[in-house]
Amino acid sequence: MTHIETRPSSFNIPNLLTYGRILAVPLMVAAMLWLEDDTGRIVAAILFVAASVSDFLDGYLARAWDQQSALGRIFDPIADKLLVGTALVLLVHNDTIHNWSVIAGLIILCREILVSGLREYLAELRVKLHVSWLAKWKTVLQMLAISVLLAGPAIERVVPGAMLLGTIFLWLAALTTLWTGYGYLRAALSHALRH
8 part of a folded domain = no
2 part of a folded domain = no
Report pLDDT for 4: 38
43 part of a folded domain = yes
65 part of a folded domain = yes
Tens digits of per-residue pLDDT, 91-143?
Answer: 999 999 999 999 999 999 998 888 777 777 666 667 666 667 888 888 899 99
1 part of a folded domain = no
Q: What is the CATH number of the domain that holds 162?
A: 1.20.120.1760
Report pLDDT for 5: 39
Residues 83 and 20 sit within 8 Å (Cβ to Cβ): no
Task: Give me the mean pLDDT over the 5-16 stretch.
Answer: 68
Cα dist from 111 to 33, 45, 68, 100, 173, whole Å: 27, 23, 25, 18, 11
Tens digits of per-residue pLDDT, 22-52?
Answer: 999 999 999 999 987 789 999 999 999 999 9
4 part of a folded domain = no
Residues 168 and 174 sit within 8 Å (Cβ to Cβ): no
What does the buried/exposed string (b/e) look like for 40-61 if buried means 16 or more CB atoms within 10 Å of the residue's CB? bbbbbbbbbbebbebbeebbeb
Domain tally, the chain: 1
Segments forming the whole domain that contains residue 180: 13-194
167 part of a folded domain = yes
7 part of a folded domain = no
* Mutual angle of helices 162-194 and 101-124, in 10-degree steps: 30
Report pLDDT for 109: 92
